[in-house]
Structure 1
Amino acid sequence: MKAFISQLNPRFSFRIGAHLVETLKSPFPYYLNDDRKNTLIPLGMSLFLVVFMLVFQPYNPYKVLLIGTVTFMVLFANIVLLPKVFPAVFDASNWTVGKYIVFTIWQLLLDGIVTAIALDVFNFHPEVAFVDKIFKVYFGVFTNGIIPIALATLVLRNHMLQENLRSAVMANCELEKIRLLKEDPLHTKSNVVTIYSDTRETLDLALSELLYVEASDNYSTVYWKNGQGIEKKMLRINLKNMESQLDNYFAIRCHRSFIVNINAIDHVTGNANGYKLGIKDTNFSVPVSRAKGKEVIEKIGQLRNVFELN
């Protein structure tokens, strides 16, 4: 029994660790991508903090207002102003849960030290040494900040979920219009492309039959539809080279490991982590990276316009 437990624990710990790493790398919104809305977040958190301290803690009202003002200034500077100075660091398309946690901890630490300095400058509790004042302030910052941070996190995650769901619904409406347009014989044109692998192996493929391409290192597996069903073929070619050879308006790289034919998308699903593209006549869904989400949704709308013009 002990031997079994000793074998189980490392495996269980590995799963927990892998799940934690995956969670930390999962997408998360950089607040609300709008300066006006992002100003309301620190304002709301600061007001909540002021009301909470006035109601539940016997503090000097002037001290509470000072703490609330400092909190707003620190949060506003970090959330709204700092990304303008370091845009690459705060790239919203690459923002993750892990970055959000680290950034939140940084704001708490900065808020604590600035609040302690402000209380010392305005001569609150002169009898307390500055070092002791810092420890007391940090205790208050972390305990009082838990609720507003949790509320802000829920608001941000719900905002991302609603945005993705809204975009997915719009994309599905466009796909339905495309299906109706493609019933017209004028929209059944297809082009044939020849894909050349690194080993000089070739694949002749009608672009209208292409479903998607999945890559792993220097190999790419092409999936396409024929009269009998779904076929696939693995070629020694990386996805970047595959993308350049396809070079078609409807073939779009939607993920670091996938190229999808926009025509092959049956439906789009959206959740807090992004989008997935359901492929026609299969049970497979192609993931969409966060950086490519907007481009894919726009391409679907543009595809409908192309069919209407032809």
Structure 2
Amino acid sequence: MFSYASYPYPKSESFKEIFVSSLGAGLSVYLFLIIFQPFGTENFQHPYKFLLLFPYCIIFGITFLITNLMVSRFTHWNIGAEFLKIVIILFIGSVLSYFYNSLFLSHVKLELGNFFYMFLYSLAVGIPISIIYVLSRYIYLKNIYENSARDISQHITVPTTELRQNPLKISTQSTELIIDENHFLCIQAMENYCIFYFLENNNVKKILIRISLTNALMQIETNFIKKCHRSYIVNLGRVKSLKGNAQGYKLILTEIDFEIPVSRTFISSIIPQIKQQNS
């Protein structure tokens, strides 16, 4: 299991995905409480028992939501970081749940020992379930994307040298760059700058320009030149093959020595187009 800790892991990227997963996490906690009734819940008798247990759903759902929104800013994520995130969620959720239980349900004196008992019980229940979920999701996504990438790559034709004669013009206050669309490869964003990769006399050339990726995309986007990641714009007509992993896809261009990632938010637009242009 420890060998998996450093493997890249796909975290939620969009607010919608984070919200839906947070809702699912909160409802899972609620269902677990009403079915198994841990922490002495089976001895708690009240005509509105299940209604009074519902705030636990809200507590863990909001904790899950806030934690995932915070970690969504990290660019690199792996299985070990995902497990650490889960422990943090269980800890914060246990703290809030303990206060809710002590102050509104059981009305008992707050004691550190009782909290640690609840936290350890939460870990004992939450960690095994989380391990099964995280590893299963990793293996499932890895197999899906790897098989799909292999199938798509088999149908990608070798890019020809003369496809489109369309000049791309990039203008800033201090720079003006004109590249033929057929010779354009990709753009890599680096903070306030972008590195433009293109062919010149059959050699790869790169130029650093002070421009945002959004501004660059507005000037050069075509049917083939698309944004595929928050840090990359790529010429889909130059894609030679794909690789797949648990995080999604990576595009391979023979002219450059690095792979271009495709964010999961762009998969639904990028991958079908690659399939269509090679069908």
- Superposition TM-score, scaled by structure 1 size: 0.62
Q: Which residue of 2 aligns with 1:62?
A: 43
Any unmatched runs of 5+ in structure 2?
1-5, 13-17, 75-81
State the secondary structure of the residue aligned to 1:76: helix
Alignment partner of 1:270 is 2:270: no
2:21 to 6, 16, 33: 33
1:137-168 Cα distance to aligned partner (Å, 9 max, x none)? 31211121112221233244235424542245
| Counterpart contact for 1:48–1:148, Cα < 8 Å | no
Alignment partner of 1:202 is 2:176: yes
Distance of aligned partners of 1:259 and 1:62 in 2 relative to their CA distance in 1, 3 Å threshold: same
1:240-264 Cα distance to aligned partner (Å, 9 max, x none)? 2211111113322233332122333
State the secondary structure of the residue aligned to 1:224: strand
Distance of aligned partners of 1:100 and 1:215 in 2 relative to their CA distance in 1, 3 Å threshold: same
Task: Give the letter for the 1:241 counterpart.
Answer: N
**Distance across 2 between alignment mates of 1:244 and 1:285:** 23
Equivalent runs, 1:240-255 vs 2, <5 Å: 240-255=214-229
> C-alpha displacement at 1:226, in angstroms?
5.8
Distance of aligned partners of 1:113 and 1:235 in 2 relative to their CA distance in 1, 3 Å threshold: closer
1:149-194 Cα distance to aligned partner (Å, 9 max, x none)? 21233244235424542245324423433x14x68x8x96314223
Any unmatched runs of 5+ in structure 1?
1-22, 54-58, 122-129
**Distance across 1 between alignment mates of 2:250 and 2:215:** 23
| Counterpart contact for 2:170–2:220, Cα < 8 Å | no
Distance of aligned partners of 1:173 and 1:75 in 2 relative to their CA distance in 1, 3 Å threshold: farther
Equivalent runs, 1:1-310 vs 2, <5 Å: 28-29=11-12, 30=18, 33=21, 39-40=27-28, 42-44=30-32, 50=38, 62=43, 73-79=54-60, 82=62, 94=72, 97=82, 102-117=88-103, 120=106, 130-132=108-110, 134-162=111-139, 164-165=141-142, 166-177=144-155, 179-180=156-157, 189-199=163-173, 201-225=175-199, 228-265=202-239, 266-271=241-246, 274-275=247-248, 277-281=250-254, 282-288=256-262, 292-308=263-279
| Counterpart contact for 1:32–1:156, Cα < 8 Å | no
Task: Give the letter for the 2:211 counterpart.
Answer: I
Distance of aligned partners of 1:263 and 1:148 in 2 relative to their CA distance in 1, 3 Å threshold: farther
| Counterpart contact for 1:193–1:205, Cα < 8 Å | yes
| Counterpart contact for 1:194–1:202, Cα < 8 Å | no
Distance of aligned partners of 1:88 and 1:249 in 2 relative to their CA distance in 1, 3 Å threshold: farther
User: What number of residue pairs does the alignment pair up?
Assistant: 254
**Identity rate, percent:** 15
> C-alpha displacement at 1:303, in angstroms?
3.3
Distance of aligned partners of 1:46 and 1:72 in 2 relative to their CA distance in 1, 3 Å threshold: same
Distance of aligned partners of 1:136 and 1:46 in 2 relative to their CA distance in 1, 3 Å threshold: farther
1:270-293 Cα distance to aligned partner (Å, 9 max, x none)? 23xx245242214312244xxx42
- Superposition TM-score, scaled by structure 2 size: 0.67
1:118-152 Cα distance to aligned partner (Å, 9 max, x none)? 6636xxxxxxxx325x4343121112111222123
> C-alpha displacement at 1:77, in angstroms?
2.4
